[in-house]
Amino acid sequence: MAAFVASKWSKVGPPLLDNLRSSRLLEPFGKFQDIASPGWNGLLFQQLRTFIQMRTKLKVVDNSGAKWVRCIQALKGRKGARLGDTIIASVQEAQPRGKVKKGEVVYGVVVRAAMQRGRCDGSEIRFDDNAVVLVNKQGEPIGTRIFGPVPHELRRKKHLKILTLAEHIA
Amino acid sequence: MRLEKCWFCSSTVYPGHGIQFVRNDAKIFRFCRSKCHKNFKMKRNPRKVKWTKAFRRLHGKDMTQDSTFEFERKRNRPERYDRNVTMETLKAIKKIDKIRVAREARHHKMRMKGKKGIEQKAAERELEQGISLVKAPLALREESSLTLSKIKVKVSQPQAEYQMEE
C-alpha cells in the first residue's frame, strides 16, 4: 500500500517539493488540540448509600399525618434496616389534625430505600429516597392511602395490606 | 420470565443480572451492568455516548428499519400456550436470525462502500506531506538517483517557470 502511494507521489516532481519545504513542512505540527478530560466528577461526587440506622430521616408516604420520621431502632439486622424491614421511629414533623402527633414513637415499614437491595432472582433494586409507611405493632398500616411505588418484596414480609393500597408495584 | 432491554445501552438484561432504579414517579430504569448504571448516575445522554445502541441507530451505524425487528417487540398480552405454535416459533427463530444477520452484513457493506478510496487518498496525502521526514527535501532535489528517471522528462517545463520566478 505504502509503496504504491510512494510511486504515485514520485510523479509529482521537484518543483512541488520546493513548495512543500516552504509552506507545508511545519504545518502538521503547528496545531495542538486540547484533549478534554472526560467527566469523572459525577463518579467522584456519588454519595455512598447505606443502611437505615439510628437518626436516619425518612419520608412518610401515607396519610397517617406524619411528614418526616427519624429512625431510632431497626428491628432486624445488625447494621440497620433495609428495604422492606420494620423500624421504630419518632415523628419529627406532623400535620395538625393527623392520626399521629409530633414526638410520638411509631413503627414503620421501609417501602423505599436509596441503598440497593438484592432481589430473589439475583438482580438489584434501588429507589430515589428513603420512605416509610407507618404501621401499628401488629403490622397493619395506620393510614388508608399510600403514595408512590413500593417493591413486591413486601409480599414476602407479609405486608399485603400495604401492597393492595399502593399505587405502583415495582 | 422476560428479557428486558437496558435503558442505557439497549442490550438485553437477562434475569438476575444488573440493577434497576425506580424513580419516585414509578418509572423503572433497568441497567445491564454497573457500567451503564454509572453512566446513568453521571447523567450522560445515551444518544451522545458512542458505544450505545441509541447512538449507533441515530448516526446510521446500525440497521434501524427492518421487518425482523418486529418479532422482538414487547407484547403486553401473554400468548396462550400451544405446543404446535411453540414448536414452529422455535424453528422460525433460527431462520429469522439468519436473515437478520445477513441483512446487517449487507447494511455494513453498504456503509463501508467508499471507505477504501478515502483511506487511499488519506494515505497519499500523508505521504505527500510527510516525505520530508523520511528524506530531507534538499537531498531529494540534489540527488538524481533518488528520483525516478520518468520524472526528469516531466520536469523540464515547470523548471523554466521556476527560473523565471527567480
pLDDT digit string, tens, across residues A2-22: 444 444 444 444 444 444 444
CATH of the domain at A160: 2.40.150.20
Averages of pLDDT over each 10 residues, chain B, 166 residues: 91 95 95 95 95 94 87 85 94 94 94 92 91 80 65 56 54
Q: Does some domain include residue A142? A: yes
Give strand pairing partners of B31: B19
The range of the structural domain enclosing residue A140 comes to 57-169
- SS3 state at A33: coil
Q: What is the structure's pLDDT at B133?
A: 85
Chains A and B form CB pairs within 8 A to the count of 112
pLDDT of residue B131: 83
Question: What's the pLDDT tens digit per position in A67-104?
Answer: 999 999 999 889 999 999 999 999 999 999 999 999 99
| Residues 6 or more apart in contact with residue A123 via CB below 8 angstroms | B13, B15, B16, B17, B18, B19, B20
Query: Least CA distance to A116: which residue of chain B?
Result: B19
**B123 → chain A, closest CA residue:** A5
Helix or strand run (H / E) with residue B30: strand B28-31
* Residue A17 domain-assigned (yes or no): no
User: ipTM of the predicted structure?
Assistant: 0.70
A4 falls within a domain: no
The CA-based dihedral angle spanning residues B75, B77, B78, B80, taken in that order and rounded to the nearest 10 degrees: -120
> Does A112 map to a domain?
yes
Q: Is the pLDDT of residue A44 over 90?
A: no
The pLDDT > 90 percentage for chain A reads 69
Contact A10 B20 (CB under 8 A): no
Mean pLDDT of all residues in A139-151: 95
Q: How many domains does chain A have?
A: 1
Residue A108 is assigned to a structural domain of this protein: yes
d(CA B43, CA B74): 26
Domains of chain B by start residue, with CATH: 1-62 (2.30.170.20), 115-165 (no CATH)
3-state secondary structure A73-120: EECCCCCCECCCCEEEEEEEEECCCCCCCCCCEEEEEEEECCCCEECC
Q: Please report whether residue A76 resides in a domain.
A: yes
Question: Do A148 and B26 lie within an 8 Å CB cutoff?
Answer: yes
The residues facing A66 across adjacent strands are A94
Three-state secondary-structure class, residue B73: coil
- Supply the mean pLDDT for chain A: 80
Alpha helical stretches, state H, B18-166? 34-41, 53-58, 83-111, 115-134, 137-142, 149-165
> Is A52 among the domain residues?
no
Chain A hits for B130, CB-CB cut-off 8 Å, are: 28
A33 found inside a domain: no
| A124: chain B residues, CB-CB within 8 Å | 18-20
A129–B24 CB contact, under 8 Å: yes
